[in-house]
């Protein structure tokens, strides 16, 4: 069962897709009323699910005429993918790795299934490794993504 945060996130992403310029302007109080929640719940969704790591920029102005502007910064272009790969660096936390996978999934660079597969490999390899987990995680993630980006698409297990 999806949580309220999942519903709010889905709504915002749906509205962004409908926007021709990938920019959405929201009113926090109106959105909270629409979902029958407190405005801090909207803040929570925005700060945890619409992060820069996931390819979003949030601008806000508080007060009576306040607004929240959500801007989708990546649009699946090759330079964006390179930028995401560069964000990995030499170390990466588990949360940052999740954000990278979500950003790549949102931009249709990888499928949700591929993202889960990569996440599973990272968890399995790190669980049995006595090495620096943040460094190993970054190395494995970068290697898997680079191979994926340079490999011809596979459909039904056969190269196309």
Looking at the predicted structure, is the pLDDT value of residue 160 above 70?
no
Report the distance separating Cα 58 and Cα 68, nearest Å. Answer: 7
Q: Which residues of 59-69 are buried (b: 16+ CB within 10 A; e: fewer)?
A: eeeeeeeeebe
Report helix, strand and coil shares of the chain as percent, to nearest 5.
Answer: 55, 10, 30
Question: Three-state DSSP class for 112?
Answer: helix
The pLDDT assigned to 146 comes to 73
Hey, what are 78's tokens?
A: 């090759």
Domain boundaries, the chain: 4-72, 78-159
Average pLDDT score over residue span 131-138: 84
Report the distance separating Cα 60 and Cα 138, nearest Å. Answer: 32
Pick from 118, 106, 143: which is nearest to 22 by CA?
106
Mean pLDDT across the chain = 81
For 4-72, which CATH class?
A: alpha beta
Read off φ and ψ for residue 158, nearest 5 degrees: -120, 135
Average pLDDT score over residue span 155-159: 39
Burial class (CB in 10 A: 0-12, 13-18, 19+), 56: buried
What pLDDT digit, counting tens, does each position of 2-50 carry?
799 999 999 999 999 898 777 888 988 899 999 999 988 998 999 999 8
Q: pTM higher than 0.75, yes or no?
A: no
* Cβ count within 10 A of residue 7: 13
Using 50, 70 and 90 to split pLDDT, how confident is the model at 121? very high
Lowest mean pLDDT among 20-34, 68-82, 119-133: 68-82
Average pLDDT score over residue span 102-128: 88
């Amino acid at each position: 069962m999806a949580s309220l945060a999942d519903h709010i996130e889905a709504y915002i992403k749906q509205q962004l897709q409908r926007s021709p310029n990938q920019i959405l302007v929201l009113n926090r109080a109106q959105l909270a009323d629409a979902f029958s929640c407190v405005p801090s719940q909207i803040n929570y969704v925005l700060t945890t699910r619409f992060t820069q790591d996931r390819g979003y920029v949030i601008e806000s102005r508080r007060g009576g005429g306040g607004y929240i502007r959500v801007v989708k910064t990546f649009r699946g272009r090759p330079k964006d993918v390179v930028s995401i790969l560069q964000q990995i660096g030499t170390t990466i936390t588990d949360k940052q790795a999740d954000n990278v996978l979500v950003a790549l999934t949102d931009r249709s660079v990888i499928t949700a299934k591929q993202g889960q597969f990569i996440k599973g490999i990272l968890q399995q390899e790190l669980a049995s490794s006595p090495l620096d987990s943040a460094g190993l995680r970054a190395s494995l993630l970068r290697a898997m993504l680079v191979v994926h980006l340079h490999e011809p698409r596979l459909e039904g297990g056969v190269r196309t």
